[in-house]
Amino acid sequence: MNKVFVSHPKQMLDHYFGARAAAALATFADVAYNPEDRELTTAELADAARDADVIIAYRQTPAPRALFEALPKLAAFVRCAVDIRTIDVDAASEFGVLVTQASAGFVPSVSEWVIGAMLDLARGTTAYAQAYHRGESPTPQMGRELRGSTFGVIGYGQISRYLCDLALAFGMRVIVSDPYAQIDDARVQHVTFDDLLAQSDFVVCLAPANAQTANLMNARAFAAMKSGAYFINAARGELVDDDALLDALERGHLAGCALDVGRAADQMPSLQLAAHPRVIAAPHIGGLTPGAIEHQSMETVAQTEALFQGRVPAGAVNAAHAFRLTGFDLHAAAR
């Protein structure tokens, strides 16, 4: 039977793969799982997956050149996530291993988290709740309505497009900065990055993380934001200079901040920022809903099944270089 190794740490399997995906995978493959409650080292993964035809990889599992060198039988490295930046795709191609990625199943989930964060920042809900939990009686503060506020989104990908519709439904003015996007929605205004920072009451960072966008939100960018504005990051920690953000909060230039990502392990917000009284921080859970997780896990199972049926799956990144597929038994094994 075709052999699959699933690299998810044992304690993450239910949250980031799920019973339905595991049951579906078992119908056509001989499956082994990571027995540890942690990520395996590359050497440990190579040993555990030495007989595997396919690795279904947890969102954090790295795939350096050494992994592909150590696994001559491996035909595909199937990422159960969108982000493949920790996979050495060039090395995979050199060794003929197919790399795939899942499509974004978390668009509504992350978008709703952003709306919730904006409402919390604008009305101080978390601060009031924390005061009551401490046995204090908080002093009411003047809140802010989303309606009539300017909502600025950096990046115009799938999440941004969905999120803009939600912001418009709240009666917000919506502006977007993305030098590569074509915006056909007449309700959304395309502006420069500097204009977005200067005009927005809420700045939401949803830009892709790459060499060009590293520290995009730096001291200059935060200084260019309106005094009293809010900053929200639901993309990647690498987009933000944490020291510059902390300084903008300490100086009172920003009224508040919400973070679902950061520079700590697994894209978590840093503890120093998360502890700041004007920061609402979440441990990278924007996409952690059953619908979002099941979308990606079931798509990953479908990609693996397609391989065993002799088809190159949707989501393939380097199909033209995946020469191991020609020697891979792509026909479903007899059960």
Same domain as 150, residue 92: no
CATH number at residue 135: 3.40.50.720
Q: What is the pLDDT of residue 334?
A: 32
Is residue 25 included in any domain, yes or no?
A: yes
pLDDT at 15: 87
Domain range for 61 is 3-104+289-327
Supply the pLDDT for residue 17.
95
* Cα-based distances in Å from 162 to 108, 110, 179: 7, 10, 19
- The predicted pLDDT at position 331 comes to 44
Token pair of 173 as six digits = 């003015």
Give the dihedral of Cα atoms 45, 49, 53, 56; nearest 10 deg. -50
100 with 111, same domain: the answer is no
pLDDT for res 30: 96
pLDDT of residue 332: 38
* Whether residue 144 is found in the same domain as residue 217: yes
Structural domain includes residue 169: yes
**Tell me, what DSSP letter sits at residue 329?**
-
How many folded domains does the chain comprise?
2
Q: Which of 186, 190, 120, 122 is nearest to 154 (CA)?
A: 190
pLDDT at 300: 97
Instruction: Quote the CA–CA distance of 15 and 21 in Å, as a whole number.
Output: 11
Tens digit of each residue's pLDDT, the chain (335 residues): 699 999 999 999 998 999 999 999 999 999 999 999 999 999 999 999 999 999 999 999 999 999 999 999 999 999 999 989 899 999 999 999 999 999 988 999 999 999 999 999 999 999 999 999 999 999 999 999 999 999 999 999 999 999 999 999 999 999 999 999 999 999 999 999 999 999 999 999 999 989 899 999 999 999 999 999 999 999 999 999 999 999 999 999 999 999 999 999 889 999 999 999 999 999 999 999 999 999 999 999 999 999 999 899 999 999 999 999 986 654 433 33
The answer to whether 231 touches 205, Cβ cutoff 8 Å, is yes
CA-to-CA dists, residue 217 to 51, 174, 193, 204, 272, angstroms: 45, 20, 11, 11, 17
Looking at residue 327, its pLDDT comes to 61
Residue 117 lies in a domain: yes
**Residues 140 and 208 both lie in one domain:** yes
